[in-house]
């Protein structure tokens, strides 16, 4: 729906037509969209390239693990802040230079709940300890908040939703830094790469697409997400199988993903599977996950199954079902560094 009064305003999302047509890219009334501003875009304000601080206050971080690099301007020393949106590969290099981040690549069909996994973990960490970790900082804090907006009452939506991951020319990564509760003071950086639904379809239809995704060679974790909601409908189960199994085969056959990358078979929306699908749906979910696991084990050393509900309905805890165990496993494992010559 067009909102003429929004014409001339500004949106920080690339490709949003609100300034010209008054239509929000997310389908929201512009005034309710977190990306929209009534002020026109200028070089200093409101452009997609604006620099935003995306970390917690500097005092919250240990001195030996700075999130921001200092740089000299010739007259005074300042702090270079991240943009706050999803990181591009050259920005990931800075984090990799400071620590050994866990790189998690998440693949699955559109609306399977890939981004919701990440945003639900982020929101659960805001409430205290989660999976043995406490929230410490993020170089993509505004980006995470934007993706959480449609899940909140402020969005004005009748039912919670998550912003769709759009295909882009280069990969994008969300970042979390958490502190282990035991032993205290130990920090872990986790980077999340979400393969968009469009790119997912390209992978299924073209075996050469994976080889062009160079960042997969650095992945510590590969999560294949199966949309549990489709398992509630007998007519959709075979289609879901025909989507998920070839995708796993693509990754098994690709040399781009290391054999010591930990693979996770994730059945999402398990609350819907149980409440709406019945025993047949549960049995199909168990059988499909086991077949995907066995397929992955032909090449990968570590394969784990997860049955989760990132945004459960009813009386279940609001921080999700089994997400704490999923995040704990992502934060715990980092691929061994390659041996140096002479070691």
Q: What is the mean pLDDT of each run of 10 residues along the chain (343 residues)?
A: 57 66 67 63 35 33 43 47 73 81 92 88 89 93 76 51 56 92 88 78 75 87 95 94 92 92 96 91 96 98 94 55 92 80 51
Token pair belonging to 172: 């994008």
Gyration radius from the chain CA atoms: 21
What are the strands, taking DSSP E only, across the chain?
10-11, 36-37, 69-72, 77-80, 102-107, 133-137, 173-180, 187-194, 221-226, 262-267, 302-307
- pTM exceeding the 0.75 threshold for the entire prediction: no
Find all residues with CB under 8 Å of 99, minimum gap 6, and list them: 65, 187, 188, 189
pLDDT score for 235: 93
Token pair belonging to 314: 């009813």
pLDDT score for 50: 29
The DSSP output letter for 309 is B
Q: How far is it, in rounded angstroms, from Cα 51 to Cα 92?
A: 16
Residue with tokens 């704490």: 324
Cβ atoms 119, 162 nearer than 8 A = yes
Cis omega (within 30 of 0) on the bond before 183?
Answer: yes
pLDDT score for 242: 92
Alpha helices in the chain (DSSP H): 18-21, 89-98, 114-125, 141-148, 197-205, 208-211, 234-253, 270-272, 278-296, 323-332
Token pair belonging to 132: 């043995």
């Amino acid at each position: 729906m067009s909102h003429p009064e929004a014409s001339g305003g500004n949106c920080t999302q690339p490709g949003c037509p609100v300034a010209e047509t008054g239509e929000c890219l997310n389908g929201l009334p512009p005034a309710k969209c977190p990306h929209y501003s009534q002020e026109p875009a200028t070089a200093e304000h409101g452009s997609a390239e604006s620099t935003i601080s995306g970390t917690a206050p500097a005092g919250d971080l240990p001195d030996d693990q700075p999130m921001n690099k200092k740089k000299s301007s010739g007259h005074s020393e300042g702090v270079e802040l991240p943009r706050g949106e999803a990181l591009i590969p050259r920005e990931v290099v800075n984090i990799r230079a400071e620590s050994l981040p866990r790189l998690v690549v998440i693949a699955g069909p559109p609306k399977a709940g890939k981004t919701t996994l990440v945003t639900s973990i982020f929101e659960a960490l805001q409430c205290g300890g989660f999976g043995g970790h406490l929230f410490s900082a993020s170089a993509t804090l505004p980006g995470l908040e934007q993706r959480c907006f449609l899940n909140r009452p402020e969005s004005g939506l009748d039912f919670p939703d998550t912003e769709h991951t759009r295909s882009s020319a280069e990969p994008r990564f969300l970042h979390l830094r958490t502190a282990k509760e035991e032993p205290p003071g130990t920090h872990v950086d986790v980077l999340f790469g979400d393969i968009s639904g469009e790119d997912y379809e390209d992978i299924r239809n073209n075996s050469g697409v994976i080889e062009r995704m160079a960042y997969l060679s650095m992945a510590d974790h590969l999560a294949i997400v199966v949309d549990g909601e489709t398992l509630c409908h007998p007519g959709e189960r075979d289609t879901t199988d025909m989507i998920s199994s070839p995708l796993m085969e693509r990754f098994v056959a690709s040399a781009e993903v290391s054999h010591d990358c930990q693979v996770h078979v994730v059945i999402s929306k398990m609350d819907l599977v149980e409440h709406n699908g019945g025993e047949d749906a549960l049995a199909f979910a168990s059988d499909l996950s086991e077949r995907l696991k066995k397929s992955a084990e032909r090449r990968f050393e570590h394969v784990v199954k997860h049955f989760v509900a990132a945004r459960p309905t009813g009386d279940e805890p609001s921080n999700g079902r089994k997400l704490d165990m999923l995040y704990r496993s992502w934060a715990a494992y980092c691929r061994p560094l390659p041996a140096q010559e002479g070691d």
